[in-house]
Amino acid sequence: MRNDRPAVVVTASRYPHGYASIRSLSAKGVHTIAAVDDQSLSVTVSRHCDESVLVPPPSDITAYKDALLGLAARPDVRTIVPHRPHDPYILSKYADEFERHVDVVVPDLEKLRNVHDRKRLAEAADRANVAIPDTKLLGDVEDWCGDRIVKSRYNLLTDEYLDDFSFADSKIAKSVEHVSAGEEPDVDALRETMHHEPIVQEYVEGEEYLFGALYDRGEAVGTFQHKQLRGDSYTGSGGVFRQSVDIPALEEAGLAILDELEWHGLACIEYVQDAETGEFSIVEINPRMWQSLACATRAGADFPAWYWDVALGRQDLIEPGYETGVGTHYLYGELEHLVSVVREDSPLVERPSLSSRASEILHSCYEVPDFDYLHLDDPRPVARQVRRELEGAVRRRLE
């Protein structure tokens, strides 16, 4: 497709952060290209999406990488904005190939490993004197006297981190197991499920927060915070109802760990505020755009536009800052939350009543009627999403 405007590639999926980036970058007059593995995704029908290109799914990482490289080679494309878990790894590992064509804002592979590897992240947090739950490799746990969480050591399982993996074997390991004090899990089964030696962390009870940042070679360009009022599971996870906040202690903790890591690029840090101590304890760091990005852009923390400016060497145009008290909902995520109340179980988190939680969601949508996909100036994405989900429900019913 011939295009006279500078273009950006946004790696979009069914989650709403790709759409938030498309809206933001379109407003800057940039030609927006959604790289999708399914042309029926909501973002492809947005009036802000100038072009959608079908690429292989990231599970076929070799073909996915080649497709992104092909897009980068287009003369109009200036950068690629990472949204999917594989993206920063691909852009960093093959930086020499991508940077022949575009400028990308990602850390080098060694720095990336420091956040992908949660064991190394815990060591960096200790050096930075910021709180993180006690973290051990599964095989190093000698007793199970406290409440624990078992989860993947790595955000992404890859050949760089695991000797028995090839590049083509790369995969996401998202399993999280809650273990009550005094109960010892099946260690061999956990290793088999997670495809490697996972980590064990102490369980920290408290409210969840997000600290988002964009760094340019060790210097913070802009930051953002939100409080997670509801996740896509009643036990936690990605925020589906959130509200922007500005807490100095959270800002201090977020900047301290990223400064220690000499960071470059995007960082989404998930925190739990310890109910006993009040400390903000790191859960994980994701080096890409995050699911709840729409809350940040709605509040004025325009990370997609900031990323574009850093990629083009125009940092001086960035005016950081945002409005507090801005809330947004991811409606499909709210539905997933209700499903989790029915289907999931945790020995550490009390299951809420389905009726009371449904009433709470409806009331919050009435009180805060701002949504990730639902926009009066662009109704087709949410209509597409509703149709996809209805068609999927009917298909599952008939199978």
pLDDT tens, residue order, the chain (399 aa): 557 799 999 999 999 999 999 999 999 999 999 999 999 999 999 999 999 999 999 999 999 999 999 999 999 999 999 999 999 999 999 999 999 999 999 999 999 999 999 999 999 999 999 999 999 999 999 889 899 999 999 989 999 999 888 888 888 888 889 999 989 999 999 999 888 999 999 999 999 999 999 999 999 999 999 999 999 999 887 889 999 999 999 999 999 999 999 999 999 999 999 999 999 999 999 999 999 999 999 999 999 999 999 999 999 999 999 999 999 999 989 999 999 999 998 888 999 999 999 999 999 999 999 999 888 899 898 888 777 766 665 565 455
- Yes or no: say if 201 and 284 are a contact pair by the CB < 8 Å rule: no
Where does the chain hold its CATH 3.30.470.20 domain(s)? 206-367
Give the pLDDT of residue 373: 87
Can you tell me whether residue 22 is helix, strand or coil?
A: helix
**Neighbour-count burial of 364, counting CB atoms closer than 10 A to its CB (0-12 exposed, 13-18 middle, 19+ buried):** middle
Could you please state the CATH topology (level 3) that the domain comprising 206-367 is classified under.
D-amino Acid Aminotransferase; Chain A, domain 1 (3.30.470)
Q: Kindly report the length of the chain.
A: 399
Give the pLDDT of residue 391: 65
Query: What sign does the dihedral 73-77-78-83 (CA atoms) show?
Result: negative
pTM listed for this prediction: 0.94
What is the C-alpha separation between 276 and 45, in angstroms, rounded? 47
Where does the chain hold its CATH 3.40.50.720 domain(s)? 7-104
Give the pLDDT of residue 388: 73
Can you tell me whether residue 398 is helix, strand or coil?
A: helix
Query: Quick one: residue 333, left, alpha or beta (phi over 0 = left, psi -120 to 50 = alpha)?
Result: alpha
Identify the CATH homologous superfamily for domain 7-104: NAD(P)-binding Rossmann-like Domain (3.40.50.720)
- Yes or no: say if 42 and 384 are a contact pair by the CB < 8 Å rule: yes
Q: Which residues contact 11 (CB under 8 A, 6 or more apart)?
A: 18, 35, 68, 80, 81, 82, 83, 84, 87
Give the pLDDT of residue 161: 93
Give the pLDDT of residue 342: 93
